[in-house]
Amino acid sequence: MAHSFFTTEQFDFAFQCALGGVVSGCGDVGEMLSTADRIRDGDAAGWCTEWTATADRVEAVADGCAAAGHPVSARSAYLRASAYHALALSAVDGTPDPDALLLPTFRAHRRCFAAHAALLDPPAETVEIPYADAPLPGWFFTPPGGGRRPTLVLNNGSDGPVTSLWPSLGAGAVARGYNVLVFDGPGQQSMLFERHVPFRHDWEAVITPVVDFLTARPDVDAGRIALYGISQGGYWVPRALAFEHRIAAGIADPGVYDVFAPWWAALPPPLRDCLDAGDRETFDRSMEEGLRQAPAAEQRDFAWRAKPYGLTSPFDVFTAARRYTLDGVVGSITAPVLVTDPEGEQFWPGQSQRLHDALPGPKRLVRFTAAEGADRHCEPMARALLEQRVLDWLDETLAR
């Protein structure tokens, strides 16, 4: 994809992802371009300020529409406001006082999304899935009418908001007759920000309670539950499928065989040696010195990527991330799996093919290209194309 909106990679990718959401109502092009024009490239505080200002303005429009008895207009505006608050949230770690901004921004995002979900027809159901000591919060969406239906579980990645999942794939699934569940797992959004529950590598411990919750519902066809994972969810989905065999089909977008591979590739050889030797003191000191000298965007990116692991020592973060691999478990996957393979994948290049080749059962590798406008991680500017390919495959797979 040739066009860039910002030279700061984090800003540019976040903005491309946001523009891709326009197809499902997660933004209006004019609102988004005018906001981007007010942001100085690389200025995290300005990014947060301007996206919050747009979100607040659109939320006020939504409130006015709701009060005046225009639920369709209110529903649309609440979804856009939610997406803009989520954009602000994506850069809080680069602001002078991220702790002061994180929770208010996150809660504004969720407040708007909850208002949108409540105005759907039928309204989405707010759910809490029993899990350990802190239930997993989420929403359950259904088509009109009754009966048992196939159900698609949307599994987020390391840092995405629910607005990156429900509109771009969930709404399309509901239109095709599926129930849809979105939820926050350990280390994701509300579980991290409000409940302080970090990631875990053994994601089957998360998905099994989710499947238990779904199979107990009278509106779920227990034999037709599918699991989709976006971004780092491309690791969690196959990891869960290796253990939870009640799931009828899985989608990894993109395929992630080894989460740690890019972390390892970014380390200079002396730090790799420290990590292998278990030398926490030298590793942490070197990392901290390196981050102090790094550009602000790199500091911000590391803070954001490390946050879900719930650890303060860089050595501990890297050691924890090293466990996120499918080695030793991928051979236990029996369900059919679709793996997306976007051209120009910037975070886990080559891993979609690696996962596909390692899968022992029914599988399909679906390529997305720059010529289609569908390149880069998670096809940010081609979510309609992704929806068509993924859900058509899912229809056919569950019908078999």
Domain harbouring 247, CATH code: 3.40.50.1820
Tokens 């926050």, residue?
A: 184
Find out whether 297 and 7 touch, Cβ atoms under 8 Å. no
Which pLDDT value is given to residue 1? 53
Question: Tell me: the pLDDT tens digits for 371-396?
Answer: 999 999 999 999 999 999 999 999 99
Which pLDDT value is given to residue 197? 95
3 belongs to a structural domain: no
Which pLDDT value is given to residue 2? 53
Say yes or no: 194 and 51 in one domain.
Answer: no
φ and ψ at residue 4, rounded to 5 degrees: -120, 145
339 belongs to a structural domain: yes
Say yes or no: 362 and 379 in one domain.
Answer: yes
Strand, coil or helix: 366: strand
Mean pLDDT to the nearest integer, 254-283: 96
Find out whether 321 and 346 touch, Cβ atoms under 8 Å. no
Distance CA 261, CA 247 (A): 27
Distance CA 204, CA 347 (A): 23
The bridge status of strand 125-129 relative to strand 136-141 is antiparallel
Neighbours of 286 (CB within 10 A): 18
Which pLDDT value is given to residue 245? 98
Would you place residue 296 in the very low, low, confident or very high pLDDT band (cuts 50, 70, 90)?
A: confident
Say yes or no: 193 and 340 in one domain.
Answer: yes
Which pLDDT value is given to residue 269? 96
Mean pLDDT to the nearest integer, 109-125: 97
User: What is the length of the chain?
Assistant: 400
Say yes or no: 139 and 287 in one domain.
Answer: no
What does the H/E/C string look like for 232-295? CHHHHHHHHHCCCCCCCEEEEECCCCECCHHHHHHCCHHHHHHHHHCCHHHHHHHHHHHHHHCC
316 belongs to a structural domain: yes
Tokens 């039928």, residue?
A: 122
φ and ψ at residue 382, rounded to 5 degrees: -140, 45
| Residue ranges making up the domain that contains 14 | 9-118
Nearest CA among 373, 369, 358 for reference residue 325: 358
Say yes or no: 90 and 14 in one domain.
Answer: yes
Least confident of 164-168, 217-221, 291-295: 164-168
4 belongs to a structural domain: no
Neighbours of 102 (CB within 10 A): 17
Say yes or no: 237 and 275 in one domain.
Answer: no
What value, to the nearest 5°, has the Cα angle with vertex 374 and ends 372 and 375? Answer: 115
Q: What is the CATH number of the domain that holds 38?
A: 1.20.1440.110
Mean pLDDT to the nearest integer, 152-164: 89
Domain final residue, candidates 271, 288, 321: 321
State the alpha helices, DSSP H only, in the chain: 9-20, 29-37, 44-67, 71-89, 98-118, 171-175, 190-193, 204-215, 233-241, 261-266, 269-277, 280-293, 296-306, 314-321, 351-358, 383-399
Mean pLDDT to the nearest integer, 136-143: 97
Say yes or no: 254 and 374 in one domain.
Answer: yes
Distance CA 400, CA 397 (A): 5
Domain final residue, candidates 97, 118, 139: 118
Would you place residue 301 in the very low, low, confident or very high pLDDT band (cuts 50, 70, 90)?
A: confident
Say yes or no: 156 and 253 in one domain.
Answer: yes
Find out whether 259 and 355 touch, Cβ atoms under 8 Å. no
The pair of structure tokens assigned to 261 is 């591979």
Say yes or no: 248 and 282 in one domain.
Answer: no
> How many structural domains does the chain have?
3
Distance CA 235, CA 203 (A): 9
Distance CA 30, CA 189 (A): 28
DSSP string, 183-228: E--TTSTHHHHTT-----S-THHHHHHHHHHHHTSTTEEEEEEEEE
Distance CA 56, CA 362 (A): 47
2 belongs to a structural domain: no
Neighbours of 245 (CB within 10 A): 12
Say yes or no: 243 and 288 in one domain.
Answer: no
Q: What share of the chain in percent tops pLDDT 70?
A: 100
Domain final residue, candidates 118, 139, 162: 118
Which pLDDT value is given to residue 146? 85
Say yes or no: 336 and 287 in one domain.
Answer: no
370 belongs to a structural domain: yes
19 belongs to a structural domain: yes
Which pLDDT value is given to residue 159? 84
Nearest CA among 159, 161, 157, 241 for reference residue 204: 241
Say yes or no: 369 and 249 in one domain.
Answer: yes
